[in-house]
Amino acid sequence: MLFKISWRNIWRSRTRSAVVISSIAVGVWALSFVLSFSNGLIYTFIQNAIRDQYSHIQIHHPKFPEDKNNKHYIENADSILSSIKQIPEIEAATSRVITTGMLSTSHGARGVQVMGVRAKSESSVTKFNQKIVEGSYFIAGKKNQIIISRRLAEKLKVKLRSRMVLTFQDTKGEITAAAFRIGGLYSSGNMIIDESLVYVNDKDLAKSIIIVESNNNNLDVAHEFAIYLKDSDNTALIKDKLKKQYPELLIEDYYDLSPDVELYETQINTSNSIIIIIFMLALIFGIINTMLMAVLERYRELGMLMAIGMNKAKIFFMIVLETFLLSAVAAPIGLGIGILTVYLLQDKGIDLSAFSKGLERFGMETTIYPAMDIELYVQISIAVFITALLASIYPARKAVKLQPVEALHKI
Amino acid sequence: MSIIKANSITKTYNPNTIPVHALRGVNLTINKGEFTAIVGPSGSGKTTLLNIIGGLDRPTSGTIQVDGQNVSELSDNQLIDFRQKKIGFVFQSYNLIPVLTVSENTEFVMLLQKRSKEEREKRVAELLHAVDLNDKKDKRPSQLSGGQQQRVAVARALASKPTFVLADEPTANLDSASASNLLDIMEKLNREEHITFVFSTHDQRVIDRARRVVTLVDGAIDSDVTRD
């Protein structure tokens, strides 16, 4: 009966209820959109960081990450790589020869990190081949190709097929140099990467820098293995597996490699909570106002209910229930529109290219794909109902404090 | 058998500023089965007396006993419980719950008392028959005339089988035909089912029908006439 009364009471003042329901619904919609947007921003950032830079897992010589000296290489790269690729959870894996060097053209020189990649497996791990915007990706059999970013090409005033000289130290510490010809230009969407990374074939690079004493110039070496998993959730599992398999090597996942990824993940939870609290504060006063009006308007009726024997607990509960029902009508509407909005935008994305310069500088994509998970919808629903309950306390207290004899004679 | 016993009831409003003495030592006993009107001009204290008898207000001094129980000693929540069980109320206006139908309004107090569905349905049918509103049982109060609304209020007041019914100016907003019809019903219930009615009124139509008329003037009983 209380439920029936409360439910019907909501619809007594249709306009007022419609206004408060709309305001809650719009609030919920806005909240779900803002959260899915910030989620998408961070999610895209993390996914891109994994895809482009860190992969899920990387393997190095234990001393390599520390001083980046190219003498800390891993031998027998081919056989390690093929045995890694046997693991069923792994989508793709590749190995790299890495060094730092000086890129010189007739217009100037620039310090860069030189990535010696296996053309085929690199593209399956990082999709690097899709980032080529001019020229072509590595052509099989062609010697000394180099791929640099378009941004860097503009800075160095070079074009496709320009010659450039890379100078670096070999593993003995001797200065050595090799000439390369630009085969393609890439654009990663990340300014930091664009300006600092150049790509060559691993064998071309190994030939110049690796002096293998033990094994008569065998160039079957790597400084880095990058592993991309089919499912991110398996990262810890595969990491452990590889640690057992290669106890002498350093196995790191993307959290180890990039603490900022973890920071972003925690950051997003904090910022979501703050946004939710701000939303609740904005909502709470709107609901209090409406319910207070509903109580004051029904002062005599409430007095009559108390006179005929409805106790204070029931009156209190009735007002709380009315508030709760209002939000129970509004929240699903808001969530529904929110889910629809996210659904419509999650494939198309929101194009922020107008602000792309700033985003690129932070290594972020210019198109954001809003992402929402069930947990967030649950959080929003709980937040709305807690807000409704908190907002109903004051009007409900006001209702039970009335004296029936005064209320009945109020005009 | 006395069901209401008021002993030296006084009620003073604003005792600390400008005191208004609404009741000045009222002694009144009402027996089972009475059909009594408390009358008097505006400001004579009749509504105050009715509120005190009904446990809606507390006297400044004096005691009030209903069914042998001292009402003045009850806490607010006990008073609500007391009113729910012992008293049926009919007010001048704002009597019914606007969002409930006629039968739901009638049933309401029984629901508060957690009576069984079967008992509630039986009682509602009985009462709506008694107040001649069977055909309106699914209507909302706003779809009824003033007289019909007051008849629903009477049905609701009787639903919990109270010790007595308190009616505060029940005919004030009714036309003659409706008032007469309402009084007929109440008289019939009084005569046939021995339900005690206490009215506060200054409506001559009610006074004419009352078998006992207690007249208040300036917060004191001026006359108490019983007619046969």
B140 touches chain A (CB under 8 A): no
pLDDT of residue B94: 65
Q: Tell me which residue range forms the domain holding B54.
A: 2-222
What string of DSSP letters covers B2-48? EEEEEEEEEEEESTTSS-EEEEEEEEEEEETT-EEEEE-STTSSHHH
Within-domain flag for A54: no
List all residues 6 or more positions away from A117 whose beta carbon is below 8 Å from its beta carbon: A94, A96, A128, A138, A199, A200, A201, A202
pLDDT of residue A411: 46
Where does A140-192 show beta strands of DSSP type E?
145-149, 163-169, 175-186
Disruptive mutation site among A12, A308, A319, A408 for chain B (greatest number of B CBs within 10 Å): A308
pLDDT of residue A40: 83
Closest CA to A308 of B222, B194, B90, B189: B90
Closest CA to B37 of B219, B218, B220, B196: B196
- Identify the band that residue A214 occupies on the pLDDT scale cut at 50, 70 and 90: low
- Asked if B94 lies within 8 A of A307 by C-beta distance, the reply is no
Helix (H) / strand (E) containing A202: helix A202-209
Disruptive mutation site among B23, B56, B100, B169 for chain A (greatest number of A CBs within 10 Å): B56
User: Number of folded domains in chain A?
Assistant: 2
Within-domain flag for A255: no
- Asked if A309 lies within 8 A of B83 by C-beta distance, the reply is yes
Say whether both A207 and A283 belong to one domain.
no
What number is the average pLDDT over the span A258-285?
A: 86
d(CA A156, CA A148): 10
Q: Tell me which residue range forms the domain holding A72.
A: 62-248
pLDDT at residue A266 greater than cutoff 90: no
Say whether both A272 and A192 belong to one domain.
no
B54 touches chain A (CB under 8 A): yes
B121 touches chain A (CB under 8 A): no
Within-domain flag for A131: yes
Buried residues in A152-164 as b, exposed as e (16+ CB within 10 A):
bbebbebeeebeb
d(CA A59, CA A126): 16
Q: How far does B156 lie from chain A, in Å, by closest CA?
A: 9
CA R_g for chain B: 17
Within-domain flag for A296: yes
What does DSSP assign to residue B72? G
Say whether both A347 and A392 belong to one domain.
yes
pLDDT at residue A234 greater than cutoff 80: yes
Say whether both A293 and A237 belong to one domain.
no
Final residue of a domain: which of A248, A276, A298?
A248
pLDDT of residue B29: 94
Where does A285-382 show beta strands of DSSP type E?
350-351, 367-368
What string of DSSP letters covers B113-170? TT--HHHHHHHHHHHHHHTT-GGGTTS-GGGS-HHHHHHHHHHHHHHT--SEEEEEST
Of B84, B95, B99, the CB nearest to A8: B99
Of B57, B76, B109, the CB nearest to A308: B109
Tokens encoding B141: 């109060």
Query: Phi and psi of A131, rounded to 5°?
Result: -95, 0
Within-domain flag for B160: yes
Mean pLDDT, 10 residues at a time, chain B of 228 residues: 91 87 92 93 88 90 90 87 90 86 93 91 90 90 91 89 89 87 89 90 90 93 88
pLDDT of residue A141: 85
Tokens encoding A42: 């961070």
CATH number for the domain spanning B43: value is: 3.40.50.300
- Identify the band that residue A210 occupies on the pLDDT scale cut at 50, 70 and 90: confident
Within-domain flag for A55: no
- Asked if B94 lies within 8 A of A311 by C-beta distance, the reply is no
Final residue of a domain: which of A200, A223, A248?
A248
CA dihedral (A299, A301, A307, A313) positive or negative: negative
d(CA A222, CA A77): 6
CB distance A255 to A261 below 8 Å:
yes
3-state secondary structure of A393: helix
Within-domain flag for B13: yes
Within-domain flag for B227: no
Say whether both A287 and A186 belong to one domain.
no
CB distance B4 to B49 below 8 Å:
no
Say whether both A244 and A267 belong to one domain.
no
ipTM: 0.90
Rounded mean pLDDT of chain A? 87
What number is the average pLDDT over the span A291-298?
A: 90
Per-range mean pLDDT, top range of A214-218, A315-319, B73-77, B168-172: A315-319
d(CA A290, CA A21): 10
Within-domain flag for A256: no
pLDDT at residue A366 greater than cutoff 80: no
Say whether both A277 and A238 belong to one domain.
no
Query: Phi and psi of A28, rounded to 5°?
Result: -65, -40
Final residue of a domain: which of A222, A248, A274?
A248
CB-neighbour burial class of residue B23 (10 A; exposed 0-12, middle 13-18, buried 19+): buried
B200 touches chain A (CB under 8 A): no
Q: How far is CA A264 from CA A39, A40, A351, A361, B63, in A?
A: 10, 12, 21, 17, 72
pLDDT of residue A363: 56
pLDDT of residue A365: 62
Of B51, B85, B104, the CB nearest to A405: B51
d(CA A324, CA A20): 12
Helix (H) / strand (E) containing A156: helix A150-156
- Asked if B83 lies within 8 A of A307 by C-beta distance, the reply is yes
User: Number of folded domains in chain B?
Assistant: 1
Say whether both A146 and A275 belong to one domain.
no
Within-domain flag for A284: yes
